[in-house]
Structure 1
Amino acid sequence: MLRLELPGAASLRAGVLLACACVAPACTVASQELQPLTPDALARTWEAERLPLPAPPLVTHAIVEARVARLVRESGGLVTSEVLGTSVEGRAIHHLTIGRGAKPVLLWSQMHGDEPTATSALFDLCQWLVRHRQEPIVARLLDSLTLHIVPMLNPDGAERFQRRNAQFIDINRDALHLQTPEGRLLKGLRDRVEPVIGFNLHNQNWRTSVGTPPQPAAVSLLAVAYDEARSEDPRRQLTKRTCSVIVEALRPLASGRIGRYDDEFEVRAFGDNITKWGTGVVLIETGPWPGPEPDRTLVQLNFVALVTALDAIASARVSNVDPSLYERLPENQSDLFHTLVMGGTVIPGTGVTPFRADVGIVGTRVVRQGPGGRVLQWQGSIQDVGDLRVYGALETVDASGLFVSPAYTAAAVGDEVSLPPGNATASTPRVVPGGPARLWLLRGGSVPDRYRLERIVDLP
């Protein structure tokens, strides 16, 4: 029998998981006969049963509170809730408990207020567990695990759609000083329940790429280190294997778009310190996705990842997974634009002679208050001009044979336009780094200095 010597109850439980349940209860033996749900089946289930929530950036603290109350009310006692405490500005921070198993698992989302994808996925996870509680795979999970879920750790930041809390402290860099009430509550919960594993759920920058040629890094994974040497013990073995389970689950849905997050030890960070305190942590960073409804797919990927990982832990299947599936993942880079306009002749509006160049536009999603409530918008700017063939993009525009200029007026596609003569003034748009992300793609006409407007590239 494999013996694992680790300090602390949580580390011992992690070791027992890695020992392939040599003293497994009868339910685990029976559960091994159950085939895990396939990624495609889980994706279809999510599509059919997902909760009718707004896009994650538009999910407010009030929506979270209403969803928590409804989930508890409709769960028939399966889900319980407590208020851990309050944020700087007095908003309640909720802790949901679901399951009756001996292995506690901690999942927390939105410690950065502008990183909301997993909050929606956690509610979908809870709803799925409640709805399917009688099915063998779900019953096994609930009998083996007890989930402790904090769906929104930083409600003040979420209200402003900003990373930091109302003190303007990054909660994820407050694990040692514990100057944020939100950080103190998270540490107190971890110390109280001593989880066998934790899931730290974030979003990453929309410039994050993976692979060559660069693809959007839809999900990046990290088995969090607990020291500068990046030592490996049963805690990290468990988290590496769990990351490999997620890789297996997501490859059919996001092939080539799964990355590995840098595992350098960060002495101030919660994930690193929670691992150091005895609970191995899996970091899931949700990244960019192309198309008009990226949030839909990104929430679905989170749901599939979490269900599959939890099922693997509950069934002890995680013990047989090859950790190299995670270790071989390419590491994240920042080689992604929102839009790449490729191969055009740039008339930059600065008075210089036109030249052939690509134009790279970056975008950030922002939440603004509109007349009918919160609205989600893109905020873009030109990041680079030149030979950008080594970069990727959510959208690539072929401008071969066309001229690329600033958009000077509110002209429509198909209009004939002329460009202003001479050099730009301080208020004139220009195709330069930092310039506005609104471009005209033009075809030269038979009349000098007159062009036909073929396309407008606009990321306001």
Structure 2
Amino acid sequence: MKLVKDDFIKAFSLYEEKALMHRRFKHADIIPLLGNIGSSGRFEVVEIGKSTEERLIFRLQYGHGPIKILLWSQMHGDEPTATMALFDLFNFFNGKDDGFDAYRDDIASKVTLYFIPMLNPDGTERFQRRTAMDVDMNRDARATATVEGALLKAQAMLLKPDFAFNLHNQNNYYNIPGTNMPVTISLLAPAYDYARSINETRGDAMRVIVGINKVLQEFVPKAVARYDDEHTPRGFGDNFQKWGARTILIESGAYVGDTEKMLVRKCNFVALLKAFEEIADQSFKQYSVTDYDTIPFNDEKLHDVLLRNLTIEQHGSQIVVDIAIRQIEKTIGSDYYMEGIVEDIGDLQDFYGYQDLDVSGLKFIPAKKYDNILLIEQLDHNLIQDLLHKGIATVHIKDDEAAGKLHQFPINIVSREGFLSEGLPELGSMANFFIGTDENIKYAIINGYVLDLRVSDCNPNYKNRIY
């Protein structure tokens, strides 16, 4: 059975795992899901080891065909998109009487799928890249110092897969070269040597990628790129390729407005179903390695905010510069907030912003702090709007125990002195300032968010901590 676009859409809508709808799920959230999957009788779910902190790591098996495919996700704990997509796939393969039974039967007879979801549960618990040992597992294929890295290598040696899928997330700042289009999915057939040689194994991986790219263009046109193919001798993808598995890296990127990566997750689901189909019927061999070369490489010229042509007065003279801001996600307990940082200053004509604002003719206005100390109960929309129009970016509250708590007011809140610098923007500093004229302020930049003060409701989707 050959799946077409409408089939992928239908399959995803039927089988998206509703228990995983936010990026910061934990190991405990997938345990009951794995129990349900194993009880279906279609999957074999086995414990293959434990993490450093004794969290169970599982391998799922579907099918009994001669072609072996191994997939693993979340070897970096803060890269959860593919894990969500794998659970969507588990639901799909457990389905029946929905028009897809012929596809399932074909895959099960020709292919054996092995999945290791959430390979780094300790990192997932902290929503961090590295393991509990603070080792980057994807740089541990050679030394296998981590128990999780050793476990993955042991599975490779045991199963000897014909194909391997290394599933990751990349940062949101990759763009298609020469455009402001974010890269939604990045693909790579990793190099197994410094010369980036192409043998039959790597060539087949490239051909599979061509098929994946072809179907993804139907969902995210012109938003697919290639990841950097520099050889990394300690990386798992490079070593799997060297060990003889046709290895495909899938990096989940970004899509405008898709904060929780739900559309990107769907792209993973589609890409993998298509790859399984073409591996099962060997149709990937119809593609040429030269088709792989037509996929553009990632560029990295995106920022969260790009302010163009901002006038800054300094030492009695005026300069006109562009300012780039990035919103860095910070973990706090089981939640998170964003911290807006000045990333670059100068001539940024060749760069782009998710929010791209030309402020020609307007000038930089330093932020001020409110003179009075308030109770947090006194803060409301009208007061904050009034303070912002006066160039006040920070209020001091009388609550020593509030520090570290999250809030959603579009203004900085501090419970201690000395938080806000009132000078010119500096690289690495928090982005808190105003933009306007001598007569009035037009924009407030609060913790890297742009608030248009010319409209009555300028409250963004905002979350910050009390300092």
Pair in the same fold by TM > 0.5? yes
Is the alpha carbon distance of 1:296 and 1:407 closer, same or farther for their aligned partners in structure 2, counting shifts above 3 Å? farther
Give the equivalent residue in structure 1 for 2:400: none
1:412·1:453 contact (CA, 8 Å) conserved in 2? Answer: no
Letter in 1 for 2:164: G
* Whole-angstrom CA distance in 1 between matches of 2:330 and 2:70: 29
Q: Tell me by how many angstroms 1:204 deviates.
A: 1.2
Secondary structure (helix, strand or coil) at the match of 1:58 reads: coil
Letter in 2 for 1:417: K
TM-score (norm. length: structure 2): 0.81
2:22·2:260 contact (CA, 8 Å) conserved in 1? Answer: no
After superposition, the C-alpha distances for 1:227-275 in whole angstroms (9 at most, x for unaligned) are 2222222211210011101111111222222111122221111111111
Give the equivalent residue in structure 1 for 2:431: 437
Secondary structure (helix, strand or coil) at the match of 1:215 reads: coil
Secondary structure (helix, strand or coil) at the match of 1:51 reads: coil
2:189·2:247 contact (CA, 8 Å) conserved in 1? Answer: yes
Q: Tell me by how many angstroms 1:291 deviates.
A: 1.3
Letter in 2 for 1:191: M
Which of 160, 167, 185 is matched with 1:194 structurally?
160
Which of 318, 328, 331 is matched with 1:367 structurally?
331
Kindly report which structure 2 residues correspond to 1:373-384, keeping only aligned pairs within 5 A, or say none.
374-384=334-344
Secondary structure (helix, strand or coil) at the match of 2:390 reads: strand
Give the equivalent residue in structure 2 for 1:452: 441
Which of 379, 385, 389 is matched with 1:412 structurally?
385
Q: Tell me by how many angstroms 1:381 deviates.
A: 0.4
Letter in 1 for 2:170: Q
Give the equivalent residue in structure 1 for 2:77: 113
Give the equivalent residue in structure 2 for 1:26: none
1:429·1:435 contact (CA, 8 Å) conserved in 2? Answer: no
Do structure 1's residue 35 and structure 2's residue 9 form an aligned pair?
no
Secondary structure (helix, strand or coil) at the match of 2:31 reads: helix
Kindly report which structure 2 residues correspond to 1:5-20, keeping only aligned pairs within 5 A, or say none.
none
Is the alpha carbon distance of 1:94 and 1:204 closer, same or farther for their aligned partners in structure 2, counting shifts above 3 Å? same
Q: Tell me by how many angstroms 1:406 deviates.
A: 4.5
After superposition, the C-alpha distances for 1:410-444 in whole angstroms (9 at most, x for unaligned) are 84289642589xxx9983354222121334333x3
1:238·1:319 contact (CA, 8 Å) conserved in 2? Answer: yes
Give the equivalent residue in structure 2 for 1:156: 122
Secondary structure (helix, strand or coil) at the match of 1:93 reads: strand
* Whole-angstrom CA distance in 1 between matches of 2:282 and 2:156: 22
Letter in 2 for 1:386: G
Give the equivalent residue in structure 1 for 2:54: 90
Do structure 1's residue 248 and structure 2's residue 214 form an aligned pair?
yes
Secondary structure (helix, strand or coil) at the match of 1:153 reads: coil
Q: Tell me by how many angstroms 1:355 deviates.
A: 3.1
Is the alpha carbon distance of 1:419 and 1:66 closer, same or farther for their aligned partners in structure 2, counting shifts above 3 Å? closer
RMSD: 2.6
Do structure 1's residue 393 and structure 2's residue 353 form an aligned pair?
yes
Letter in 1 for 2:4: L
Moved more, 425-434 or 142-151: 425-434
2:76·2:130 contact (CA, 8 Å) conserved in 1? Answer: yes
Moved more, 227-236 or 197-206: 227-236
Kindly report which structure 2 residues correspond to 1:44-193, keeping only aligned pairs within 5 A, or say none.
44-73=10-39, 75=40, 77-132=41-96, 135-193=101-159
1:206·1:363 contact (CA, 8 Å) conserved in 2? Answer: no
After superposition, the C-alpha distances for 1:285-320 in whole angstroms (9 at most, x for unaligned) are 112322153511111111111111111111221111
Secondary structure (helix, strand or coil) at the match of 1:390 reads: coil
1:216·1:392 contact (CA, 8 Å) conserved in 2? Answer: no
After superposition, the C-alpha distances for 1:341-362 in whole angstroms (9 at most, x for unaligned) are 2233346xx7664432221111
1:413·1:453 contact (CA, 8 Å) conserved in 2? Answer: no
Give the equivalent residue in structure 2 for 1:6: none
Unaligned runs of 5+ in 2: 371-383, 394-417, 449-463
Identity of aligned residues (%): 32
* Whole-angstrom CA distance in 1 between matches of 2:15 and 2:296: 33
Q: Answer 1 or 2: higher relative contact order, Cα 8 Å, separation at least 6.
A: 1
* Whole-angstrom CA distance in 2 between matches of 1:376 and 1:251: 33
Which of 298, 321, 324 is matched with 2:287 structurally?
321
Give the equivalent residue in structure 2 for 1:10: none
Give the equivalent residue in structure 2 for 1:427: 421
Is the alpha carbon distance of 1:430 and 1:297 closer, same or farther for their aligned partners in structure 2, counting shifts above 3 Å? farther
User: How many aligned residue pairs are there?
Assistant: 410
Do structure 1's residue 269 and structure 2's residue 235 form an aligned pair?
yes
Do structure 1's residue 304 and structure 2's residue 277 form an aligned pair?
no
* Whole-angstrom CA distance in 2 between matches of 1:400 and 1:99: 61
Unaligned runs of 5+ in 1: 1-33
Is the alpha carbon distance of 1:336 and 1:102 closer, same or farther for their aligned partners in structure 2, counting shifts above 3 Å? same
Do structure 1's residue 355 and structure 2's residue 319 form an aligned pair?
yes
Letter in 2 for 1:100: H
Is the alpha carbon distance of 1:416 and 1:174 closer, same or farther for their aligned partners in structure 2, counting shifts above 3 Å? closer
2:165·2:250 contact (CA, 8 Å) conserved in 1? Answer: yes
2:312·2:318 contact (CA, 8 Å) conserved in 1? Answer: yes
